[in-house]
Amino acid sequence: MINDICKNDRPYEKCLEHGAVSLSDTELLAVLLRTGVKGLDVLKLAQYLLGPDCGGEGILNIHNLTLEELKSIKGIGNVKAIQILCLSELAKRLSKANAKEGLAFTLPSTIAEYYMEEMRHRKQEHIKLLMLNSKSKLLGETEVSKGTVNASLVSPRELFIEALNKQAVSIILLHNHPSGDPTPSTTDILLTKRVQEAGDLIGIELLDHIIIGDNCYSSFAERKLL
């Protein structure tokens, strides 16, 4: 428990005296977890969660651990597992809310920033359809595929049924690469071409296809691939 830790090393007291900014990642997590278990104080538990045995990505481990994986760790039960999952989700929503201030659907960089935390930690590829009006305002978004983005599995017909239902004038495709490298694959290029051609026939313009990597992105519009 926190009380068993040397006073000078207690994150609560350190935060009160110097502010939350003074705490390490391990100490911040320890404050949220509150207690450890017999033989493992809360700082050591937090350190383990951020260490190599839980993914080796430090604080990013929090985004990658599932409920089942968390509960398999000594000292983590339902309550602590849910606290950690909620911490991860809160971090993503805070990042998205902050990015929304500068969001413009005419600028690929701001779109990538807005969806970055939501998309970059996913272990499978997910593809989103963003539907816009004549003033490039978002009418709605929907996830149209999960798993490998395969041009034969993502049907332009289904995409444009969604877009027509929203009375969209234009659309943007958005998906992630779990590898962290946003470079378009041959399949990505083929899918984009099929959607663009279908949109031209219907009269709904494909403005961009943005691929999210690990804190980076690739835009078909910026690459002059549209």
pLDDT for residue 145: 79
- By the 10 Å C-beta count (0-12 exposed, 13-18 middle, 19+ buried), 115 is classed as buried
- pLDDT > 50? residue 22: yes
Separation between Cα atoms, residue 150 and residue 101, nearest integer Å: 33
pLDDT for residue 8: 46
Find the length of the chain: 226
pLDDT for residue 221: 96
**pLDDT digit string (tens) for 180-212?**
999 999 999 999 999 999 999 999 999 999 999
- C-alpha distances in angstroms, 28 versus 9, 20, 34, 59, 212? 12, 8, 10, 10, 28
Separation between Cα atoms, residue 67 and residue 87, nearest integer Å: 13
17-25: average pLDDT: 90
Residue whose tokens read 């969806």: 115
Bridging pattern class, strands 205-212 and 170-176: parallel
pLDDT for residue 215: 92
pLDDT for residue 153: 60
Least confident range from 51-55, 99-103, 129-133, 214-218: namely 99-103
- C-alpha distances in angstroms, 148 versus 127, 134, 202, 210? 9, 31, 27, 16
Separation between Cα atoms, residue 149 and residue 179, nearest integer Å: 13
Q: Within its chain, how far is the Cα of 25 from the centroid?
A: 19
Most confident of 36-40, 59-63, 185-189, 204-208: 204-208
